Every structure is written in C-alpha cells, then in structure tokens.
Amino acid sequence: MKESFSLSSLELDAALRAITARDLEDLRAWKNAHRSGFFYQAIITSEQQVEWFQGYRERAHDWMFVVNHAGQAIGCMGLRLLDQHADIYNVILGRSESGGKGLMSQAIRLLCSFIAAEYTRDIGAQVLRSNPARAWYQKNAFRETQSFDTYVEVELDWSRFRPCLFQKV
C-alpha cells in the first residue's frame, strides 16, 4: 500500500502532498474542466476515477500530488517513472483564483527537485501542441526537444534549472 507524504521547502509558498482517496473528486473536477488540454478528452466519471486510483495505488513509481498553498488545495501534478526517465503529467491549476501568482511554477520546481534527488535528472513531459501551457513549461526551465503531429516533448534544461532544498515528511 502507498503511504502518503508531503514535500515542502522554506524557499517556497507552495507545497506538495501525495493524494489520498479524499482528493479524488477534486482531481476529477479539475481534469474534466481542463480536458481540452490533455490527450484523454472524454469526461471522467466518479467510478472511472476510483478505478484509476485502484491502479495508481499498485504502481510503485507513480505519484500524484495536490498542490497546497495557505492550507488550501489549489491544483495537482503527477510524476511517473518510465524506465530511467521521469514523466510529469496531469499538471492542473484547479483554483483559478490562485493562478498567475507563480504558485504552480514553485510547485513544479519542488517536484523536479524531488525527482532529481530521489530518481533521475532526466525529467520531461508531453504537451499538446495547441496547449498554451507550452509557454509555461518554457518559462519553468523546460525546453522542447521533439515535435510530433499533435504534441511536443519537453525536458528539464539543467542549465536553467535551480533545484530547491526541500523536506519530505
């Protein structure tokens, strides 16, 4: 069984907490609201979300986090290990009121710092070509490495990325 844990940094106002069953309805609402930005564009039902969670709990190197700010869940982001490569997925600002303040940028910096410390420095993501988040990744020290019909691959550019010190509890 997966144990939940949290990541925080004195340098940051955003923290990460590995999800529990109580987060599923938030995750579902956020994903459905932003489904046009993702590969899977159908509406996710409560039952499908629970089914996903059952599979998730069995996968050792797959972590979905809630982004916390001032005691509130504002969004989510996930990581999964594919061979020796870390894939970041499901990056969503759930509460639009918390957007544009750099909180999601802080959260992805924390996530990448954790991945580098725990797993690998080879960190990337796949982003739909039409997704405005492409510019956001660029601002957050990712660069586009490959381009496909419908999506691009981005990877963390270590010449621009500065990891933060963090605590895992």
Ligand X SMILES: CC(C)(COP(=O)(O)OP(=O)(O)OC[C@H]1O[C@@H](n2cnc3c(N)ncnc32)[C@H](O)[C@@H]1OP(=O)(O)O)[C@@H](O)C(=O)NCCC(=O)NCCS
Q: Which amino acid is at 165?
A: L
- Which of the stretches 21-29, 53-61, 115-123, 126-134 binds ligand X when contact is defined by CB under 6 A? 126-134
Residues 2-61 that bind ligand X (CB under 6 A): 34, 37
27 and 38 Cβ atoms separated by less than 8 Å: no
The answer to the question of residue 91 lying near ligand X (CB under 6 A) is yes
Residue 25 burial class via C-beta count within 10 angstroms: exposed 0-12, middle 13-18, buried 19 and up: exposed
| Least distance in angstroms from the C-beta of 98 to ligand X | 7
Q: Which residues contact 95 (CB under 8 A, 6 or more apart)?
A: 72, 73, 74, 75
Are 110 and 67 in contact by the 8 Å Cβ rule? The answer is no
Q: List 72's β-bridge partners, or say none.
A: 69
Q: For residues 150 and 146, what is the distance between their CA atoms, to the nearest angstrom?
A: 11
Could you tell me which stretch among 18-26, 47-55, 102-110, 161-169 binds ligand X (CB under 6 A)? 102-110
Among 64, 86, 123, 133, binds ligand X (CB under 6 A): 133
Nearer to ligand X, 2 or 35 (CB): 35
Q: 18: which 2 tokens?
A: 């590995």
Least separation, in Å, of the C-beta of 70 and ligand X?
14
Question: To which residue do tokens 């899977």 refer?
Answer: 40
- Interface segment toward ligand X; rule CB under 6 A; list 20-28, 43-51, 53-61, 87-95: 87-95
From candidates 79, 93, 123, 141, binder to ligand X by CB under 6 A: 93
Q: Which residues bind ligand X (CB under 6 A)?
A: 34, 37, 91-93, 99-105, 127, 131, 133, 136
